[in-house]
């Protein structure tokens, strides 16, 4: 479970960091899309909360929390070919891809838990993450 769960909260932290960068971009005075800024700030906090919840679970199970480096994300979120008006759409498409990635990783960890008869892990993922993650992915897609 250790290597699998480390990867999972590393993904959550990285996604949180990217969302926080998108928030900072939309909050800039020359972009000024405060609604999108708030949206990404809130989702950044949510993702960080997921990582922390997973780490608390890891500690309760006697595991060791080991964090990986977080990669520096891009700081501009517009498409040169489509013009500046595309930055909101580009950011939402990026977020959707991250939500799909996160969902895939959570499903993989859930599958590993089931294969190893780790009912606690499977239950934890199902009750704490999978339903919410599915809802987030659907909301980004619509």
Q: Whole-angstrom Cα distance, residue 108 to residue 130?
A: 11
Residue found under tokens 């950011």: 91
Residue ranges of the annotated binding site for Fe cation are 12, 50, 99, 133
Among 69-83, 89-103, 115-129, the range scoring the smallest mean pLDDT is 69-83
Closest CA to 1 of 54, 68, 76, 69: 54
Model-wide pTM > 0.85: no
pLDDT at position 65, please? 81
Residue ranges of the annotated binding site are 12, 50, 99, 133
Q: Which domains does the chain have, with CATH numbers?
A: 2-69+76-141 (1.20.1260.10)
pLDDT tens-digit readout, 49-80: 998 998 888 888 888 787 777 777 766 666 56
Tell me the chain's radius of gyration from C-alpha atoms: 16
Q: Whole-angstrom Cα distance, residue 43 to residue 55?
A: 18
């Amino acid at each position: 479970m250790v290597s699998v769960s480390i990867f999972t909260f590393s993904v959550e932290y990285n996604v949180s960091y990217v969302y926080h960068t998108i928030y900072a971009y939309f909050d800039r005075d020359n972009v000024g899309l405060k609604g999108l800024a708030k949206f990404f700030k809130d989702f950044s906090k949510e993702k960080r909360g997921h990582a922390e919840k997973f780490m608390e679970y890891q500690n309760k199970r006697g595991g060791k929390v080991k964090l990986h480096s977080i990669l520096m994300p891009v700081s501009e979120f517009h498409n040169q070919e489509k013009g500046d008006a595309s930055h909101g759409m580009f950011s939402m498409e990026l977020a959707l891809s991250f939500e799909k990635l996160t969902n895939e990783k959570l499903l993989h960890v859930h599958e590993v838990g089931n294969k190893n008869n780790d009912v606690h892990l499977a239950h934890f993922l199902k009750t704490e993450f999978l339903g919410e993650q599915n809802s987030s992915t659907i909301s980004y897609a619509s």
